[in-house]
Structure 1
Amino acid sequence: MHTKINILFIINPISGGRGKQAIPDFIDKYLDKEKFSPNFVFTEYPGHAGELADEASVKNFDVIVAAGGDGTINEVATQVLKHNKILGILPLGSGNGLARFLKIPNNIRYALNIINNFQVDQIDSAEFNGKCFFNLAGIGFDAHLSAVFSKDKKRGLSGYVKLGFQEVFNYKAEKYILNIDGVTFKREAFAVSVANSSQYGNNVYVAPNASIKDGLLDICIIKPFPIIKLPVLGYVMLSGKAETSDMIEIIKGKKVKITREKAGAVHVDGEPLEMGEIIETHINPLSLNIIVP
């Protein structure tokens, strides 16, 4: 008799704006019980997923599954990384950037099949002033938008897009000094995204050629543009053409120091935070164990 793998599902009940109370029963129905011994827990407040994952790592859970959006995944993955456990993902968020990159489907039943197959791989993780991220972190307009959006209770893509249109008219590009692997670049930018994977979520690609296994970050500088070109930028990102667009400059590197004019908003895997004018970011190659298709 082989021992079953202890697996904990950490479920964020509000990610993506849908109720999740039925999820444990659903998982129970489709999870391979020959292989896994499942437990379930719901998060109750921001930061809770990280605390639960930290406790679970000490308590003999081998696999910890983040059932939520990129924010939930970030909290859980940070602890999985710290304790050298294995991450699973059930994408229940509104954007699901990392899950989409990994080709983990939004259909929960299919996502559970991936967990049942239990193929574990290692991917890069990164740090943004000491805070782990796995998908994207950034400063500039997208960070500003995350900060404003977090105060708005109507989550979801349509609310985000609407808010984006309101904010974009008043947003001013800022000046940045980027030191990438020892080379200095001075740039004025609408936003600077540091990408481990290729997209924000919802198939909006800022770094279409990014890889989570190459030991490199893609630093994506979105140049200032006249507002009339906003639809062009949208098209460039949705069609995955950022590499060839003159609106976006992409520089790859391992270690980056960004100096900006003043402290302010940043986002780390979509979650808004405040940081100072200097931001140091670097890649940790093949550091996270994760279940992949």
Structure 2
Amino acid sequence: MKRALFIYNPMSGNRLVPRELDRIIEKFQENDIFLDMYRIAEDNSKIIEAMHRKDIDMIIGAGGDGTIGNVANWMIKEGIKLPYGTLGTGTCNNFTHNIDIPEDMEKAIDIICQGHSYSVDVGIVNSKHSFLSSLAGGMFVEASFKTEPELKQKLGPFAYYLKALSELANLKSYPLEIDTGTDIYKENAYLVMILNGTHVGSFKRVFSESQIDISDGLMEMLVLREGNPIEIANMFLMMMRGEDYLKSDSVLLLKSDYFKISSTEKVNMSIDGEKGPMLPIEVEVRKKAIEVFVPYTKL
């Protein structure tokens, strides 16, 4: 029998994990995996200590993108090389979508129990924080911070759309300097995002899967330049519908293993949907830094 550290956020999304806890334990036990349960709290030192136990075969994170990203961050900081299973129980679940983990809990558990895995890239921010799917700043980022938990539980990802739409009438651009290690760009931009996958926030197809490889040691940066507000609103609607908006002159698309972003103004950044540091920041991409369980079709 294998042993797993199961780390969950009881408040994520619709609070599925606490409601289905007994069934989750039963499902893993049916597959000869015994769970040591840990609940995310203000002080998570006991969880980090438990990650170093010699009898642990894998780590499982259950929650939204913030929780799944935090667990990965602890693993990377502590040098934990165990395979990582992810159960997306939050509002958007971008990382689990990026690696084709279904939202259906039992199907997701089946994938972990089957044991197929591969390694994915991780972004390291200011040599301190890691992210699995996204780092973003500017337009819509504040909206995600301000979206009420009750609204997210009732409406899911659509809650972010409503908040973002309310901001379109008050677009604000920021002066940005972007260094990719080989080139420097100076732009007035509404939004800057570094992505490791096709999903971010409530947008399900920011890029097509053919454009993205989450284990190539590179990440994509999308910059939404200052422009005509009507065109920006149309692009936003195209993003919502999953249509191709990348040919617009308002979009700057970069790809690198290093980014430095600075501004003369205060710009809040989010890391996997959670509040992150203010600009300036440096991002280093670590190739295949963490091993995750995936469907065999993803191999």
What TM-score do the two structures reach when normalised by structure 1? 0.89
Aligned to 1:253: 256
> Please, what is the CA RMSD of the aligned residues?
2.2
Aligned to 1:165: 165
Deviation >6 Å, runs of 4+:
none
Deviation digits for residues 144-163 of structure 1 (CA, Å, limit 9, x no counterpart): 223333x6653333332222
Structure 1 unaligned spans of 5+ = none
Q: 1:286 to 1:96 in 2, by over 3 A?
A: same
- What letter matches 2:257 in structure 1? K
- What letter matches 1:134 in structure 2? L
Q: 1:54 to 1:104 in 2, by over 3 A?
A: same
Q: 1:223 to 1:268 in 2, by over 3 A?
A: same
Partners of 1:10 and 1:43 within 8 A in 2: yes
Aligned to 1:148: 146
- What letter matches 1:71 in structure 2? G
Report 1:1-293 matches (<5 A): 4-31=1-28, 33-45=30-42, 48=44, 51=45, 53-60=47-54, 61-81=56-76, 82-130=79-127, 131-149=129-147, 154-155=151-152, 156-208=156-208, 209-229=211-231, 230-236=233-239, 238-239=241-242, 241-275=244-278, 277-293=279-295
Partners of 1:136 and 1:200 within 8 A in 2: yes
Identity %: 24
Give the drift of 1:271.
0.3
**Cα distance in 2 for residues equivalent to 1:215 and 1:62:** 26
Deviation digits for residues 80-111 of structure 1 (CA, Å, limit 9, x no counterpart): 23322221011101101111111100000100
What TM-score do the two structures reach when normalised by structure 2? 0.87
Partners of 1:207 and 1:220 within 8 A in 2: no
Partners of 1:100 and 1:201 within 8 A in 2: no
- What letter matches 2:110 in structure 1? N
**Cα distance in 2 for residues equivalent to 1:22 and 1:188:** 47
Partners of 1:207 and 1:242 within 8 A in 2: no
Q: 1:237 to 1:158 in 2, by over 3 A?
A: closer
When the two structures are aligned, how many residues end up with a matched partner? 285
Partners of 1:206 and 1:220 within 8 A in 2: no
Partner SS state of residue 244, structure 1: coil
Compare 131-140 and 53-62 and name the one that shifted more: 53-62
- What letter matches 1:56 in structure 2? A
Compare 112-121 and 58-67 and name the one that shifted more: 58-67
Deviation digits for residues 189-218 of structure 1 (CA, Å, limit 9, x no counterpart): 110001112211445333432221111010
Deviation digits for residues 198-249 of structure 1 (CA, Å, limit 9, x no counterpart): 2114453334322211110101111224333314322135415244344322
- What letter matches 1:42 in structure 2? R
**Cα distance in 2 for residues equivalent to 1:138 and 1:287:** 21
**Cα distance in 2 for residues equivalent to 1:108 and 1:152:** 21
Structure 2 unaligned spans of 5+ = none
Partners of 2:16 and 2:89 within 8 A in 1: no
Partners of 2:203 and 2:239 within 8 A in 1: no
**Cα distance in 2 for residues equivalent to 1:53 and 1:78:** 12
- What letter matches 1:13 in structure 2? P
Partners of 2:176 and 2:263 within 8 A in 1: yes
